[in-house]
């Protein structure tokens, strides 16, 4: 039985200042299994795997892989120990070729007396890409010539070509289309077939139950339990993650409410080259309007277009008072809020404090001389209103988990008293408890008469929360669906493809 254990984590512990991110976690990972690691945002999953893969130094405790203690100094060192990771965000570097990205930090195999055999490196890179069925990606091309999905696939090749003993897949699937996911799942199965282990982090519990053999749950940095997938249901997992029973109905339960006649925003013939074509719709007060579709259908550009953040836009976005929104300043002055899908790069000042992030758009209403005391109490009020898990508002946003970052974004716009909210993927990478909180908040704001546009790739979110859903395809609106208890995922998918 002992021999079945490939990786043993012994009392792994990590603190970030006053935050106890991982609290003496001991866990076993067996050979030939896909072992899911689940928990709420901030439960310590990523910190745990980041220590295993050399992204973060180990605080306390030991990892023992195949009987040998390992403490990787960086990702490449981890690779040399047979540990690899596919990260959630972009993990390839611009300005480098595909081959250079594939072997970055590991060029020594092509080096002789300090000279790199570039031709051999390119050849091997192309062979690897071809063997993964990615022959449309050229090893010698600049990585910048490829889109997010292809770059993610390059990353998957980079992490798996050397048959790692441990492969960590950290919330990667949300960034991939169906075919990309299939490619990733194939790689995960291959690792398992070799008798190695995949540590799979995902918030999609259905995906977790489909893909994994064993599931370990972390909560507030502590290990809760390891379960066999056949022994549990999604609800059991939710309960274990949150620590209390979760209601099945965290979506809205009301049906048949008629829409208010007040139009908050009128979008007319909006086009953006290569993204949108003649989009027109009205967003009403007291309405949650959903926009869905496949990832590349152009729906994410709709949010930017309304917020005045879209370049080369034609057509008009007009508010109830006749104001035309053509730029971000007008949008903010007109009480429009926007949360981007790309939270870290477009919505947050990632290397700044929670206070600055929350108060930034509201500062214009606070006079010319800003009082730090006032700013602090403003930020604290709205961060607390969103139940943000933090040490204080002077904490840097970069230290927060994904869900808490999203709470900071929402707190910012709550503080600005925005009447029109444009939320792109509001629950992306967020655990079910925070999701439930956000859904509650959206419903409350809807009842207060705010106009809310939710752009989402999660069909159930659209069906569960929206009064109307526009489904987009190839940059155009391909259909409209009204809120109804009879509305199914298939109805939405039929309009998407």
Partner 1 sequence: MNSFLTKARQSQWYGVGLLLIMTFICWAVFKIACPTTFGSADKMMTYLQSGLIYAVGGCGLYFIVVMGLFDFSIGAMMILSELLAIGSCQYIGYAGIIIAPVVCGLLLGLCNGIAYVKLHIPSMIVTTGLSLIYESFSVFASNWGGTRLDSAYNAFGSYPWNLILALAAFCFCGFLLKYTKVGTYTNAIGSNELTAKNMGVNVNKYKVIAFTLCGLFTGLMSILYLGYGTAQTPQTGMLSQALNFQPLMGTFFGLAFKKYGHPVVSIAIGEFIIAMIFAGFVALGMPTTVNNVVTGAALLIIVCLTTKRVNGAVVK
* C-beta closer to partner 1: residue 52 or 442: 52
Please state the closest distance from residue 100 (CB atom) to partner 1, in A: 5
Please tell me whether residue 261 binds partner 1 under the rule CB under 8 A. Answer: no
Q: How far is the CB of 269 from partner 1 (least distance, A)?
A: 20
- Closest approach of Cβ 254 to partner 1, in Å? 39
Choice between 90 and 263, CB closer to partner 1 = 90
370 lies in the binding site for partner 1 (CB under 8 A): no
List the one residue from 77, 277, 344, 491 that touches partner 1 (CB under 8 A): 77
Q: Rounded to an integer, what distance in angstroms lies between the CA atom of residue 143 and that of residue 313?
A: 28
Place of tokens 């940059």: 475
Give the nearest distance from C-beta 105 to partner 1 in angstroms. Answer: 4
The structure tokens 């009301």 sit at 254
State the sign of the Cα–Cα–Cα–Cα dihedral 308, 309, 311, 315.
negative
CA 196 from centre of chain: 27
Choose which of 8, 20, 24, 116 interacts with partner 1 (CB under 8 A): 116
Task: Tell which one of 144, 182, 254, 262 touches partner 1 (CB under 8 A).
Answer: 144
- Is 54 among the residues that bind partner 1 (CB under 8 A)? yes
Residue placing its CB nearer to partner 1 in the complex, 76 or 294: 76
Q: Could you say whether residue 312 binds partner 1 (CB under 8 A)?
A: yes
CB of 67 to partner 1, least distance (A): 24
Tell me the two tokens of residue 373: 């005391």
The binder of partner 1 chosen from 114, 322, 367, 485 (CB under 8 A): 114
326 forms part of the interface with partner 1 (CB under 8 A): no
Measured at the CA of 212, the angle between CA 211 and CA 218, to 5 degrees, comes to 125
19, 62, 64, 118: which one binds partner 1 (CB under 8 A)? 118
Instruction: Give the pairing type, strands 83-86 and 166-170.
Output: parallel
Nearer CB in complex with partner 1: 105/243: 105
Binding of partner 1 by 93 (CB under 8 A): yes
Which residues, 6 or more positions from 241, have their beta carbon under 8 angstroms from its beta carbon?
A: 38, 39, 40, 43, 217, 219, 431, 432, 433
- Cα separation of 10 and 63, whole Å? 6
233 CB-near residues (< 8 Å, 6+ apart): none
Instruction: State the first-to-last Cα distance of the chain, in angstroms, to the nearest integer.
Output: 48
**From candidates 5, 71, 104, 496, binder to partner 1 by CB under 8 A:** 104
109 binds partner 1 (CB under 8 A): no
Q: Which is nearer to partner 1, 55 or 414 (CB)?
A: 55
* Interface with partner 1, residue 55, by CB under 8 A: yes
Which of residues 242, 263, 294, 309 is near partner 1 by CB under 8 A?
A: 309
Q: Please report whether residue 344 would count as binding partner 1 according to CB under 8 A.
A: no
Which residue in the set 3, 311, 373, 485 belongs to the binding site for partner 1 (CB under 8 A)? 311
Q: How many positions of this chain bind partner 1 (CB under 8 A)?
A: 29
Binding site for partner 1 (CB under 8 A): 54-55, 73-77, 91, 93-96, 100, 104-107, 111, 114-118, 142, 144-145, 309, 311-312
């Amino acid at each position: 039985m002992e021999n079945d254990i490939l990786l043993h984590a012994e009392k792994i512990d990590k603190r970030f200042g006053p935050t106890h991110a991982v609290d003496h976690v001991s866990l076993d990972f067996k050979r030939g299994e896909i072992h899911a690691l689940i928990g709420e945002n901030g439960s310590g999953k990523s910190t745990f795997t980041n220590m295993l893969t050399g992204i973060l130094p180990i605080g306390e405790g030991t990892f023992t892989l195949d009987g040998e203690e390992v403490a990787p100094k960086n990702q490449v060192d981890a690779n040399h120990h047979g540990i690899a990771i596919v990260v959630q965000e972009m993990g390839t570097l611009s300005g480098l070729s595909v081959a250079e990205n594939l072997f970055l930090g590991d060029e020594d195999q092509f080096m002789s007396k300090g000279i790199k055999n570039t031709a051999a490196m390119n050849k091997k890179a192309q062979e690897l890409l071809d063997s993964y069925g990615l022959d449309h990606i050229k090893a010698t091309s600049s990585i910048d010539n490829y889109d997010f999905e292809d770059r993610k696939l390059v990353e998957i090749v980079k992490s798996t070509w050397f048959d790692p003993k441990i492969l960590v897949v950290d919330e990667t699937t949300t960034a991939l289309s169906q075919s990309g996911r299939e490619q990733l799942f194939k790689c995960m199965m291959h690792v398992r077939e070799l008798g190695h282990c995949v540590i799979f982090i995902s918030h999609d519990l259905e995906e977790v139950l489909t893909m994994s053999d064993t599931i370990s749950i972390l909560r507030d940095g502590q290990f809760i339990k390891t379960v066999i997938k056949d022994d549990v249901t999604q609800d059991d997992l939710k309960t274990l993650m949150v620590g209390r029973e979760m209601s099945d109905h965290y979506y809205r339960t009301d049906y048949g409410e008629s829409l208010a006649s007040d139009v908050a925003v009128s979008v007319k013939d909006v086009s953006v080259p290569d993204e949108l074509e003649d989009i027109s719709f009205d967003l009403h007060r007291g309405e949650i309007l959903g926009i869905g579709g496949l990832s590349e259908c152009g729906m994410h550009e709709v949010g930017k277009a309304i917020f005045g953040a879209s370049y080369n836009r034609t057509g008009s976005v007009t508010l109830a008072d006749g104001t035309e929104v053509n730029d971000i300043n007008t949008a903010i002055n007109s009480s429009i809020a926007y949360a981007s899908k790309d939270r870290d790069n477009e919505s947050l000042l990632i290397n700044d404090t929670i206070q600055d992030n929350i108060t930034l758009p509201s500062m214009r209403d606070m006079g010319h001389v800003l009082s730090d005391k006032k700013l602090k109490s403003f930020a604290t009020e709205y961060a607390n209103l969103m139940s943000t898990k933090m040490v204080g508002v002077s904490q840097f946003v970069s230290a927060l988990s994904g869900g808490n970052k999203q709470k900071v974004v929402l707190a910012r716009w709550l503080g600005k008293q925005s009447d029109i909210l444009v939320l792109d993927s509001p629950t992306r990478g967020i655990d079910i408890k925070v999701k439930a909180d956000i859904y509650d908040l959206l419903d409350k704001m809807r009842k207060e008469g705010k106009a809310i546009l939710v752009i989402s790739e999660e069909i159930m979110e659209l069906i569960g929360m929206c009064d109307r859903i526009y489904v987009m395809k190839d940059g155009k609106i391909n259909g409209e669906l009204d809120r109804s208890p009879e509305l199914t995922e298939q109805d939405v998918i039929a309009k998407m493809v």
